Amino acid sequence: MRSLPLPLTLSARLAPVAVLAVSGWALSSGPSTPAAENKAGQDNGSQSPTAPATAAASKAYDAAPAPCTSVPVKTVKSLVPGAKTAGKEIASTDSKVRRTCSWNALKGYDYRWLDVSFEVMDSEEAAEKSYKQRLSDDSGGGDVPGLGDAGYSVVNLTTQDKQQTREGVVVVRSSNALVVITYNGSDFESKKAPSTDEINKGAIKAAKDAVATLEDGQKKG
């Protein structure tokens, strides 16, 4: 089979990812986690205060998990057929708090790309602010129930040189961390993109796996 040149929009994804924005797709919303409270006690007249639970709740994560093992091999094979399942971690200025892994492959004429990113912030408030900003930048999508403290999904379609590319982005906030999934695809034979449903479900599947890895790491820590 002859090799095919990638469109400029896909070649550019080998650099840091820029999220496409055209039209969106929606689901419905999920819950937030309430903070607990502890009371201080006394012993023989002297006070023994306990640390507020809200202090711990505001920063559940100290470091980002390894992104290339954050989704199971079977998920990678399903979403990116033909890709090296080990993935490729993208260099970061601070790998303790910001880590990204990418998988991409061209199988026949079908091209798929998957990014999984983690970003750990100083506080839950900072993560919530960043989450809301991302939703503002990528409007047109909708909430995804059951993902972290808040989850959001949007699917966009772009066309360049008659080649369609459809991309799904899922953003999840869990305490003081953000998980961002980017999943896109193209068919170089038909020039068409995969369906909105396929891309959206694939991105949400990867997001569920990545969030489970993040939260499981917290439980074990």
Residue 35 forms part of a structural domain: no
DSSP letters, the chain, are ----PPPHHHHGGGSS-----S----------PPPP----EEETTEEEPPPPHHHHHT---SS---GGGSS-HHHHHHHSTTS-TT-EEEP-S-TTTEEEEEEEEEETTEEEEEEEEEEE-S-HHHHHHHHHHHHHHT-S-EE-TTSSSEEEEEEEEEEETTEEEEEEEEEEEETTEEEEEEEEEEETTT-PPPPHHHHHHHHHHHHHHHHHHHHHHHHH-
- Tens of pLDDT, residues 138-187: 778 999 999 999 999 999 999 999 999 999 999 999 999 999 999 999 99
| pLDDT classification of 219: cutoffs 50, 70, 90 | low
| pLDDT classification of 30: cutoffs 50, 70, 90 | very low
Mean pLDDT of 40-69: 61
Mean pLDDT of 23-40: 36
Interatomic CA distance for residues 48 and 43, integer angstroms = 7
Type of residue at 140 = G
Instruction: Give the pLDDT confidence score for residue 55 in this predicted structure.
Output: 43
| pLDDT classification of 25: cutoffs 50, 70, 90 | very low
Residue 145 forms part of a structural domain: yes
For residue 208, what is the domain's CATH number? 3.40.1000
Is the separation of the CB atoms in 120 and 177 below 8 Å?
A: yes
Joined together, the tokens standing for residue 31 give 């819950």
Instruction: Give the pLDDT confidence score for residue 53 in this predicted structure.
Output: 44
- Domain containing 179: what range? 60-220
Residue 16 forms part of a structural domain: no
Higher pLDDT, 93 or 155: 155
The percentage of the chain sitting over the pLDDT mark of 70, rounded to a whole number, equals 72
Higher pLDDT, 62 or 34: 62
Residue 213 forms part of a structural domain: yes
| pLDDT classification of 58: cutoffs 50, 70, 90 | low
Residue 171 forms part of a structural domain: yes
User: Is 94's pLDDT higher than 70?
Assistant: yes
Interatomic CA distance for residues 14 and 20, integer angstroms = 15
Task: Count the neighbouring beta carbons within 10 Å of the beta carbon of residue 106.
Answer: 19
How buried is residue 124: exposed, middle or buried, by Cβ count under 10 Å (0-12/13-18/19+)? buried
User: Is 96's pLDDT higher than 90?
Assistant: no
Residue 36 forms part of a structural domain: no
Mean predicted lDDT score pLDDT of the chain: 80
Interatomic CA distance for residues 40 and 61, integer angstroms = 26
Instruction: Give the pLDDT confidence score for residue 152 in this predicted structure.
Output: 97
Residue 105 forms part of a structural domain: yes
Interatomic CA distance for residues 132 and 178, integer angstroms = 11
User: Is 32's pLDDT higher than 60?
Assistant: no
Residue 3 forms part of a structural domain: no
Instruction: Give the pLDDT confidence score for residue 52 in this predicted structure.
Output: 43
Number of structural domains in the chain: 1
| pLDDT classification of 136: cutoffs 50, 70, 90 | confident
Higher pLDDT, 82 or 16: 82
